[in-house]
Structure 1
Amino acid sequence: MAIISSQNSAVTVEGSGNQNYMPALISLAVLYFMNGFITCLNDTLVPFFKEGFTLSYADSSLVQFYFFLTYGLMSFPAGMIVEKIGYKNGMVLGFAIAAIGALLFYPAADMHLYYLFLAALFVLAIGIVVLQVASNPYITALGPAETASSRLTLIQAVGSIGTTVAPIFGAHYILSRLKESGASSDAVKYPYLGIAALLICIALVVYNLKLPKISTGSESAVASPEERRSLFSFRNLNYGSWAIFAYVGAEVSIGTFLTNYIADTLSVGVENANSYVSYYWGGMLVGRLIGSFLLKTLKASQVLTFCAIGAILLVILSVSSNGALAVWSMIGVGVFNSVMFAIIFSLSVVGLGKYTTKASGILSTAIAGGAIVSFSQGYLKDHSTWAIAFMIPVLCYLYIVFFGMNGYKPKAENL
């Protein structure tokens, strides 16, 4: 998943242009890796808690619900906090909050209470949101403007490595102990203690690094009638917000239930099925590398439409078939997902001018789609089949097809 900021002002690096940006870029790479790793480790927690607490699909999807709901609740507050304490301190604070959330897994496991795990995840997610809001400006501010996109692509690729490694880690250290855990959740106790320790170490390192200072430029107090235009009067932003909601919802929903879907399809244990999820997220890495070249020559809206249609066809093929074909076609959706977020975001802010950074706050809030859509799919699976449940992501991709064909245009036009 791409990372966007909810800040309301432009950012610039203070001081001379001869600063060494490498420590800051390495810090951001580690940050993105941990963000991707922690977020996608939720895909392991869903099947683990489902069996460990004997939950329905809807109840097990609350892992994602509370995690992604945080984006809707905390994006703007996190932006205000970071504005007051600064970006570097914001990153340190984000790592610290995330570490506290990871530490809370220990008492939750000791008491074996699902709602305590959900509370721990909520705290962990607050830290992730603060990290994202604090770190994003560095990517564009550190270095020449003409190479900002390449820096963003590289950093996102590092994040994709984290999302690819997380399912493998979860399958080996958590799901492999599911049967021996019985009526306990001890399997998550030590992995999350390790994550907490790592987050604390990273926070200390970042705190002691001499990172370039970034200042925010204030907006003009006097605005023309055109500049006072309502943010919600931009058609592409309105439709784009829902496209972000739909995309994140579809991406997270498929990742959330992929382990159980593969386990049912291949008749294997969830610990074996979970390792396949790394290919789904790995496809994001491959797709981003391919997309970075294609988008230099192809129209972004056409690429988005093609990818959304490709995702629809693969999901329908998967639920209409069985065995390896069903599994690998669903996994293949990850390749088509890879460039969607970045394209939707860029198309949503075209023509917004000084409103662009405010619009990013709205788009960041729309990431809460990961909460709503995954819960909806889980509820539908409880009352129906996988084929019916996966129509939820298909509907999301259909909306993205509309956005890629017409919804991205600043003014309404015929298809």
Structure 2
Amino acid sequence: MNKNLPAVLVIFATFFTISFITNILGPIFPELIKSFDIGIALAGFFPFAFFAAYGVMSIPAGLLAQRLSEKFVMTLAFALAAAGSLLFALLPSFVFAMVALFLIGSAMAFLQVAINPLLRKAGGSEHFAVLSIVAQLLFGAGATLSPIVYVNLADMSQQSGHMLNTLVPAQMSWLSMYWLFAALCFVMLIWGIVTRFEGNNNEEEKAQTYTLKESLALFKNKLVIKFFFAIAAYVALEQGIANTTSLFLEQVHGLDARQVGAGIVSEFWLMLTVGCAAGLILMKLFDVRKVLAWFCIGAGISLVAAIFGSVDIALLAFPAAGFFLSIMWSAIFSLALNSFSHGHGAIAGILCTGIIGGAVISPLIGALAQVSGSLQLSLLLLFFPLGYMLHVAYTSKPIVNNHTIKLFAKRSPEQEA
């Protein structure tokens, strides 16, 4: 299989951009509550508007990627993301915020659907699990930098005479990030346009594209549904932790949301990046299913410590959870696509629809926290998606296994004699 390295580079940069934009919601979550003067349950609809777009747009994105091209889908996505970011920055009201976040979420859905099967084809199916981990490294890097950039931009926007001070309202310094997102999406739009993506689809796969009816019929496939819920479980777990960490540290331990909470969220994503590096090695040595199971168990232990431990333990355990979440997306997505011989564009569309799990978890946590009066109790919901992913790790049977390096070759009976 010929490798398209320029396309791989754009895909890697796109993973960084998706994460940089998506994962700002956690650090600014307490600020959204204050700026719009709303409760935690209503604020949960901000991530709902963003991630609900995946449920609406992922299947159409998969069909477009099959019928037209990944380049068209990516170009459209960055145009949508730039428009949504500008809308948020220019009209920061609750209603327009919901519309803007839905537009940006739609763009991220288009990107996720296009780049995952493209990465598999551009880099080779047998190397997809490892390449996906590299992409996840950049995803983690984007999420790590996003809170750091937010804190610095917010501080600059409050300085008298600074350009940002004239662009954002005094009590909404976090809006400076959406001006940056608009600029970043414009740069990615131009880069995508000048990059050649042709030559990635072989004739056999072109002949096996899915119609809308056939794509919807995939929801009747038990194997597709299994991985659909696995993706939903992962995103629910990831966003459930990322979106509540800063708020948890503020409400339960009395720590400042911007100066401390945003930093811990950044460390959560930094550890996710470090975990990707460790996972990259482990997936070259062991079956991806084993690695997924080990990391699920580690995430569970970290989550228990973060929720019920002291403030010092929580400050360490939340980032530790990020380490163990690091390989889950890559492992599940590679297991899913490598469990089918064709139709990967349509299947990726179904899988990315599962990202709607990120829309469901925040309102659920917020509602349970308000009913029970305990954010700690509400976070126990996160163990349901974690348990399901552990189940997937033990029951998956892919057609193509990840390529591993045999450190110690098995000796034949003749050699042992």
Structure 1 vs Structure 2 CA RMSD: 3.0
Say whether the 8 Å CA contact 1:235–1:409 is kept in structure 2. Answer: no
1:56 pairs, out of 25, 32, 39, with 39
- Asked if 1:163 corresponds to 2:150, the answer is no
* 1:365-403 Cα deviation digits (max 9, x unpaired): 111101111210111122221220111102221222333
Residue 397 in 1 paired to residue 386 in 2? yes
Residues 133-152 of structure 1 aligned to structure 2 (within 5 Å) = 133-143=113-123, 146-152=126-132
After superposition, the Cα gap between the structure-2 partners of 1:409 and 1:78, relative to the gap in structure 1 and judged at 3 Å, is: closer
Check if 1:30 corresponds to 2:17. Answer: no
Stretch moving more, 186-195 or 28-37: 186-195
- Name the counterpart of 1:196: 182
Q: 1:53, 1:183 within 8 Å by CA — same for their partners in 2?
A: no
**CA shift digits 1:112-154 (9 cap, x unpaired):** x212111111111111222222333432333555544443332
* 1-structure distance, mates of 2:176, 2:338: 46
- CA contact 1:67–1:122 (8 Å) conserved in 2: yes
TM-score normalised by L of structure 1: 0.82
Determine if contact 2:232/2:355 at 8 Å carries over to the other structure. Answer: yes
Structure 2 partner of 1:126: 106
The DSSP-based 3-state class of the residue aligned with 1:353 is coil
Instruction: Give the whole-Å Cα distance in 1 for the aligned partners of 2:198 and 2:66.
Output: 16
Pick one of 23, 40, 46 that aligns with 1:40. 23
Could you tell me how far apart the structure 2 residues matched to 1:204 and 1:220 are?
31
C-alpha displacement of 1:27: 2.2
Q: Aligned runs of 1:221-240 on 2, under 5 Å?
A: 231=218, 235-240=222-227
Q: Distance in 2 between matches of 1:46 and 1:83?
A: 36
Number of the residue aligned with 1:293: 281
2:47/2:362 contact within 8 Å kept? yes
**Residue 170 of structure 1, CA deviation:** 2.0
Go from structure 1 to structure 2 and tell me whether the alpha carbon gap of 1:220 and 1:176 turns closer, same or farther (over 3 Å shift): closer
Instruction: Give distance in 1, aligned partners of 2:68 and 2:339.
Output: 31
Partners of 1:185 and 1:100 in 2: how far apart? 23
Distance 2:389 2:197 in 1: 39
Determine the C-alpha separation between the residues in 2 that align with 1:361 and 1:143. Answer: 20
CA distance in 2, matches of 1:201, 1:351: 35
1:65: Cα distance to partner? 0.7
Q: Deviations over 1:172-196 (max 9, x none)?
A: 3238979x99996541343312321
Once the two structures are superposed, the pairs formed by residues 111-122 of structure 1 within 5 Å of their partners are 113-122=93-102
Q: Report the residue type matching 2:26 in the other structure.
A: D
Aligned pair count reads 381
The 1:175–1:69 alpha-carbon spacing in structure 2 relative to 1, beyond 3 Å, is farther
1:312 to 300, 306, 309: 300
SS in 2 for 1:330: helix
1:220-247 deviations in Å (ceiling 9; x for gaps): 69xxxxxxxx746654433332222112
Is the Cα–Cα contact under 8 Å of residues 236 and 347 in structure 1 kept in the other structure?
Answer: no
What secondary structure, in the 3-state scheme, does the structure 1 residue paired with 2:315 have? Answer: helix
- Among 230, 233, 244, which residue is 1:257 paired with? 244
CA gap of 1:294–1:214, structure 2 versus 1, over 3 A, is closer
Determine the C-alpha separation between the residues in 1 that align with 2:342 and 2:327: 25
What residue identity is the alignment partner of 2:224? L
- Select the residue among 378, 381, 385 that pairs with 2:369: 381
Unaligned runs of 5+ in 2: 210-216, 399-417
Tell me the amino acid that sits aligned with residue 251 of structure 2: D
Q: Which residue of 2 aligns with 1:81?
A: 64
In structure 2, the residue matched to 1:205 is: 191
**Counterpart-to-counterpart distance in 2, 1:94 and 1:193:** 17
Residue identity opposite 1:324 in structure 2: D
Q: For residues 130 and 235 of structure 1, do their structure 2 counterparts lie closer, same or farther at Cα, with a shift above 3 Å needed?
A: closer
Match of residue 228 from structure 2: 241
- Partners of 1:105 and 1:188 within 8 A in 2: no
Q: Which runs of 5+ in 1 are unaligned?
A: 1-11, 222-229, 411-415
For residues 16-46 of structure 1, give each alpha carbon's deviation from its aligned partner in whole angstroms, at most 9, with x where no partner exists: x5x8x44333322222211110011111232
Partner of 1:102: 85
